[in-house]
A and B are shown apart, each in its own frame.
Chain A
Amino acid sequence: MTAWQPQPYAGSYSTGYRRRRTKTDWAGITLADAFKSHRLDYFLRLQAQRLFYQAVRKVQKGVAALTGAQVETGFEPKVKPQLGPCYTSYPAPLAAYAAIGLTGFLEFEARVSDQILFAHLEDYLENPAKHDKVRVDHEVYEKMAKIVCWHVQTRLLLEDLWRHPPAFTIELYRLFAASQLGALRSVPDILKAVILFGDLLPDWPEGKLHPLTRHLLTDLSETCAPFLSRLPHTQDHKLLALGMDWVRAVCRCLAPYLPDPESETERLKEPPSLRGRQGGKHSFSPEEEETELSEDIPPLLGPHPPSLFDTGDFKDLVKYLVTIWPKTVQSREDEDLQMLVEFARAVEAAAGQSREWEDMRFDLVELFLKNIFQEGPIKGNPISGQEVCLRLGSEEVGRGEIFDEPLELSDDLPACERLRQESYPITAALRRNLYPSLEEMPETERLRSSGSLDPARLPQADFSEAIFKRYRIRDRADPRGRAVILIACDGSASLSDEEMKMVKILAAAWLNATMRSDIQVLAGLYTSGRVREGVSGPVVRWIFHPRKTPALSRVEAFRALASVPDEGRGAQSDALSLAFMLKEARRLARGKMVYLIVISDCKFNKSFHSGLSGTEEVHAFFQQAYAELSGKLHTTLVALGVSGETGLESLLDKVIPVSDEELTDYQAVAGRISAYVSSCLRERRRWLARC
């Protein structure tokens, strides 16, 4: 055995950080890098995410403009950016554009609530069997006609959008959706394949499909072919007429396969059987001799006969098995069905998502995205979980998980400007050298020969030449270093609209007041919300975070603030959120001073499974924070809608109550802030004198 040899890197053994060259070094950053593996540097991904969200917004504006919406000013998107395709195994550069395309398509759908093809076919869809003069079960035929209509309408919509600027991404989403198409298990699946992706999909190999599926595919393809070939050349105003003809043609094509009118409703639920009909074709009509129940399970990979309608939610395995193995399931006793439930439970436990805090696995995202042209499981901003520990007493430790994400930037520039103007009185009151960090001290210099005349020295002109003066700004560093201001805004549903407005204005004022200073700022809205499909929890949405938000400056942070909803939402976890935000601020401060500004209605919620109330938890949090940051934490609580005491006065440095009456009176609040600033300045002088 040879001795183990260490593998040096770059010629020497080193524990220092060094990264190898990567593609981004020579190819730059594209929006395809936005949601790539977390091996890619966070700041590179952040740049890519800025590109991605800009592209999403551009497409959303493009499709909104098609609907006649005002997009130049005050544009508010109707749907969140869809990130699902970016978390699949589809190549990242294509997936990013597919995600943008899906967002664009859903934005268009959300703005055009009218189902235009449904509206034009209203009479027909009421009783299509009567219109088409076909002998089928009316209920089934009507339901099927609506499914056909939906698919044709979607195809027309795609064609219409294809002719406009955002089309490229929407077409890429169609290609992505075609790629996700799975086994053809139902008639809607077959309709989807033929109508939406007929030009893309290959001929299915012999033997892979059930004869009924194959017949349906053949007939439907032949029926749809002339419409698909005419589609690209049809003028916009004639698309609707084409669509109406298309729906009728497809319905008539399906009719021979559907159950007869004399079939009972219950019989429709039974599985399709094979029956010679119309020249050897097959249909969904049940026949007595073939409805015998079987104990055999057909091969899972098929070929299965298609079901009339969809096989249901992919999450419900039992329901799914009942759909694909109907005869098997119906033939069993209750105890055997229990066995089936146990099987489903074991399979789900073995194959499902094991940890909620992890990203959704790509195979599960792909299963979800088989519901095409619909919202996916991952949308908005990528969100990540953090664990927080907080000492609640001498022995008790609270542990919790909290999620954080950046707030998206609003494009509503007039709203940003309004916010700036409304916050001006408070900004003016705050815009003093409030937080000692790098001070800009104006100093007067007495001069002999130049500068402005100094009135104070003019009387001395007879015996002194120093009658001129000039000003110089001298920077004087705070001996305690570059401070961090953390603005923690409560965004929960307990806040009234007025209180929420005041939260925004105060946060804007603080952001504005510190804009030209050398102080670092963190601002976040803490509340609760949806983390991902089926998971919700406490969330911190960063308005401005130097390392986490797309806003590069505090001016841009106004755009994030403008996108804060006008009403409170969710239930906040105060102690948990404040502890997490303070942890982030301490990381930035690196041992320097942290000024914490909490803007809340002081209706504190419980965060941990402890015997303490919400207020007691917050109290415990501040006690611990002051103990850990001895002398390096200064807390101001702005208590909205509070006239009396909050109970935290003795603990915090300053509590500014803003009563209900003052909530809309910004001048009064500015007055209170002025008084507060004066007290801070006095306090600061005392500190500096000591330093």
Chain B
Amino acid sequence: MSQTKWPDYSWNAWDEGSQHYCVGGNVFPGYYAPPILDLRPVLEPLLETLQEYDGRRCQLEEHGGEIDDLAGITEVLTQKVTIKGWGRDQQVSLANQVALQQALFQASNYTVYLDIRQQENRMPLYYLCRTHHDYWGEYSLIVEDYHLSPRYPLLDERFAKFMHFGHEVYYLRLSPFRKAAAAILAPGHFASSRALDHLLYTAGRNVFQAAWHEDQRLAVVVANHFGLTHFRQAIELLYLCLSGELCDLRRAVNDQLLRFFGEVYPQPAIQAFLRQLPRLEGSIINDLPQQALKLYPRLSRAFSDFLEKEVAWGRQQARVPLYKIIYGNFSRLGFIVSELQEKLNLQEEKETLENESQAIIDDLLSLV
């Protein structure tokens, strides 16, 4: 296959030798699309506008202002921004969401997405990122962040919810790993964008598509706030064994992937699992999901026991099951985490759950 002559930007490239067009790592034989432009200069005017808007918004939200400041925000929201598309430049504004989204899609060949959320105080929040659609996977991936407004709602930082063909779907956020992944690829040097994309895509397609699932959000958010590291590792390892295509994964394991789970996204359980996977026989790989399926209820039960614990809570210090506190404050767990940590004496329960999680990880790793 000959080298592509398009800028070293992403997987989106037209390969002249094979007459294949590749969008985000997927190959479309014979399909031609014009070359992708380097997106940074294309997005620069929009990024400047977003930064200016967020600066003014944060000022107004935190320190207040004068009524003339509102005119300033109105101006930023309605001012025209030039986005260079394939055929022509487009003048769009933040206040015209449809035109803005279309211009971005056109300029990026449907890879850049601008997500907009409205706060309780009505002000918009923005998340501009580059995505990769994985046709065969359950989730698509976010591979590069361009702009994330302060206070943009990300309850679980592993997921973002975007509109896709009229319905909101979860995307896996691999973009936070981009900087650390660059250090693996080219220590001390500049790592090419395509190589970075490739590493994230490999990790995403082979590991995160299986290890992360939207149903884990409750447990993982709890694990993050209560510092339950083994519990989180056990969840992700179990899901990887249950939902992963382990034969594919076995072939994909290499030094980069192992370092990824040691340095970029430290996950000792998955790293240990990946280290042993290439040596496994097919029969053992076949048995793994069955064994993991037996361990899954064990972990669920341990988590249920943890949530059932009654604690003294609130102004009246009434006895309330922990699950009620967590479910009733799910959207503000970040704000009450210190109170949860300090006032609830949960050390014993946390240890029990962590020990059980570690036992499950050990059981699973002993099989491989």
Contacts and interface: CB of A to CB of B under 8 A. Distances in A.
Contacts of B243: 20-23, 25-26
B97 A350 contact: yes
Contact of B329 (A9, A202, A347): A202
Interface stretch (B176-184, B205-213, B273-281, B355-363): B205-213
A336 interface: yes
Contacts of A320: 122
A197 B293 CA distance: 38
A314 B118 CA distance: 11
B77 A347 contact: yes
Of A175, A317, A340, A359, chain B has the most CB atoms within 10 Å of the CB of: A175
Of A13, A299, A346, chain B has the most CB atoms within 10 Å of the CB of: A346
A3 B121 contact: no
Contacts, number: 255
B67 A179 contact: no
Interface string A340-364: 1011001111111011011101111
B245 A21 contact: yes
Given A179-B331, A180-B331, A342 B218 contact: no
Given A36-B214, A89-B155, A352-B118, A342 B74 contact: yes
Interface in B79-137: 94-98, 101, 116-124, 136-137
Contacts of B60: 297, 299-300
A332 B329 contact: no
Interface residues of A, number: 92
Interface string A171-183: 0101110111011
A18 interface: yes
A367 interface: yes
B325 A200 contact: yes
A201 interface: yes
B215 A23 contact: yes
A565 interface: no
A203 B315 contact: yes
A364 B118 contact: yes
Nearest to B244: A21
A229 B318 contact: yes
B168 A361 contact: yes
Contacts of B329: 178-179, 200-202
Given A20-B138, A38-B165, A92 B328 contact: no
A121 interface: no
A454 to B, nearest CB: 62
Interface in B309-363: 313-316, 318, 320, 324-325, 327-332, 335-336, 339
Contacts of A332: 67
B327 A10 contact: no
Given A3-B1, A198-B314, A301-B62, A363 B327 contact: no
* Interface size, B (range): 35 or more
A205 B335 contact: yes
Contacts of A296: 64-66
Interface string A160-188: 00000000000010111011101100000
Given A91-B217, A317-B122, A199 B330 contact: no
Interface string A205-244: 1000000000000000100010011000000000000000
Contacts of A652: none
B244 A357 contact: no
B242 A350 contact: no
A201 B328 contact: yes
Given A4-B11, A183-B120, A200-B328, A350 B94 contact: yes
Contact of A89 (B116, B123, B161, B328): B161
Given A203-B314, A203-B339, A346-B74, A20 B67 contact: no
B254 to A, nearest CB: 13
Contacts of A9: 136, 248
Given A91-B218, A202-B336, A351 B116 contact: yes
A385 interface: yes
Of A23, A25, A225, chain B has the most CB atoms within 10 Å of the CB of: A23
B262 interface: no
A133 interface: no
B366 interface: no
Given A347-B77, A350-B124, A23 B213 contact: yes
Contacts of B213: 23
A126 interface: no
B268 interface: no
Nearest to B293: A26
Does more than half of chain B's interface fall in helix, strand or loop, or is it mixed? mixed
Contacts of A339: 67, 70-71, 74
Given A23-B215, A175-B327, A359 B168 contact: yes
B213 to A, nearest CB: 6
A73 interface: no
Contacts of B327: 94, 172, 175-176, 178-179
Contacts of B96: 349
A93 to B, nearest CB: 7
Contacts of B293: 26
Given A228-B316, A349-B95, A297 B3 contact: no
A20 B339 contact: no
A346 B120 contact: no
Contacts of A21: 210, 242-245
A6 interface: yes
Contacts of B120: 182-183, 367, 370
Nearest to A384: B166
Contacts of A363: 117-119, 153
A302 to B, nearest CB: 9
A420 to B, nearest CB: 38
A328 interface: yes
Nearest to A10: B248
A38 B167 contact: yes
A296 B289 CA distance: 63
Given A332-B67, A340-B67, A357-B166, A37 B122 contact: no
Of B26, B117, B121, B194, chain A has the most CB atoms within 10 Å of the CB of: B121
Contacts of B201: 7
A1 B66 contact: no
Nearest to B154: A89
B4 A4 contact: yes
Contacts of B97: 349-350, 354
Interface string B175-211: 0000000000000000010100000010001000110
B269 interface: no
A10 B122 contact: no
A440 interface: no
Interface of A: 1-7, 9-11, 13, 15, 18-23, 25-27, 32, 36-40, 87, 89-94, 172, 174-176, 178-180, 182-183, 197-203, 205, 221, 225, 228-229, 295-301, 314, 317, 320, 328, 332, 336, 339-340, 342-343, 346-352, 354-355, 357-359, 361-364, 367, 370, 384-385
Given A200-B314, A299-B60, A354-B101, 8 more contacts: A1-B3, A1-B192, A10-B248, A27-B242, A295-B66, A296-B64, A361-B163, A370-B120
Closest CB pairs A-B (n = 5): A351-B124, A200-B328, A37-B169, A178-B328, A354-B97
7 contacts: A4-B4, A7-B25, A23-B242, A26-B242, A183-B120, A197-B328, A299-B61
